[in-house]
Structure 1
């Protein structure tokens, strides 16, 4: 038949009429796949996992999630302190009185865990810095220490955090009602987040 494809076009035809591939053909495909993976996996790791800016973003998002999880268990909520000049990230949560250490009790009944005693403290790589933080009210902050509060219900005040690496910037938008942090591959401001002034 002139219009019908031959059985040989699909592969090798065995004596009983079944089609398939030879062992050599399968080995050639496996070798080619191995070569492609050998060259792409290290490059993927270098660009995504080992990149200081991307790892800093993952670190910051992880601390935000941890603050939202720990805040309902604390007495007065938590805050994430971001030292924009030193690149330090501190998560501070105040424990209820029955869960504090006895030696940490204050003489006058104040919360004795301490204002600056972090549960978790991380430092950003030297090549990454926080360039600006926007909060609902006021102008963007470009230096100093900014505290982002999480209340006892686990709701974080809205904020925009811009991180800059060697050659790129990533913007993070934190919403009180959304569980995920939104990311953008550029510096963002209140207009980009839909905030109205």
Structure 2
């Protein structure tokens, strides 16, 4: 008896492929998996958005610190809580060196300068050539009410996130 496996399985009509029922079952299984995973992924992405916003703000502040030390002139970081704009200005000419915005799902809900709440919607943090800065604290809040604080230390001009 000679047994040779068939290369292709054929259904009764003699055509290859999947039945409509098989395709529907696979689509239902995929829908269930996506329904379970999507809420978890969106939470993860929201946390990443908040961290990315803090990283952007920290990068601009760090750039201001190094530029001030390099050029011997103060540089200013301007944070607009209303529009979410972040600007880096050269201190001597007020020229815009960098301009970016926070993600739409992240808001600035609190700004302190020299330990006092900043009135209005714009805050200016000055970075001096000797490596110091105006002490500041910025509260970033995501759409899901996650909170991150950015602190600019006056003594060393360092930027720290909590």
TM-score of the superposed pair, with normalisation by structure 1 = 0.54
Within a 5 Å distance, the mapping from 1:13-162 to structure 2 comes to 47=44, 51-94=48-91, 113=93, 115=94, 117-138=95-116, 140-141=117-118, 143-162=120-139
Runs of 5+ unmatched residues, structure 1: 1-42, 95-110, 185-197
Cα RMSD between the aligned structures?
2.6
Preserved CA contact (<8 Å) 2:133 2:156: no
| Unaligned 5+ runs, structure 2 | 1-39
Q: Which has the higher strand share?
A: 2
Compute the displacement of 1:73 (Å).
Answer: 2.7
Q: Deviations over 1:32-86 (max 9, x none)?
A: xxxxxxxxxxx89x83798221100010111111111000233531010001101
The equivalent of 1:173 in structure 2 is 151
1:119 is paired with a residue whose SS is: strand
* Number of positions where the alignment pairs a residue of Structure 1 with one of Structure 2: 122
- Is 1:49–1:55's contact at 8 Å kept on the other side of the alignment? no
Q: Work out which structure has the larger RCO, using CA pairs closer than 8 Å and 6 or more positions apart in sequence.
A: 2
Summarize the Cα distance change of 1:144–1:53 in structure 2 as closer, same or farther, 3 Å threshold: same
> How has the CA–CA distance of structure 1 residues 135 and 93 changed in structure 2, closer, same or farther, with 3 Å as cutoff?
same
CA contact (8 A) 2:87 2:99 kept: yes
- Residue 57 of structure 2 aligns to a residue whose secondary structure is helix
Q: Single out whichever of 53-62 and 171-180 deviates more from structure 2.
A: 171-180
Taking a change above 3 Å as real, the CA distance of residues 125 and 81 of structure 1, as seen in their structure-2 partners, is: same
CA deviations on 1:135-158 (whole Å, 9 max, x unpaired) are 1253x1264211000112121111
2:27 is aligned to none
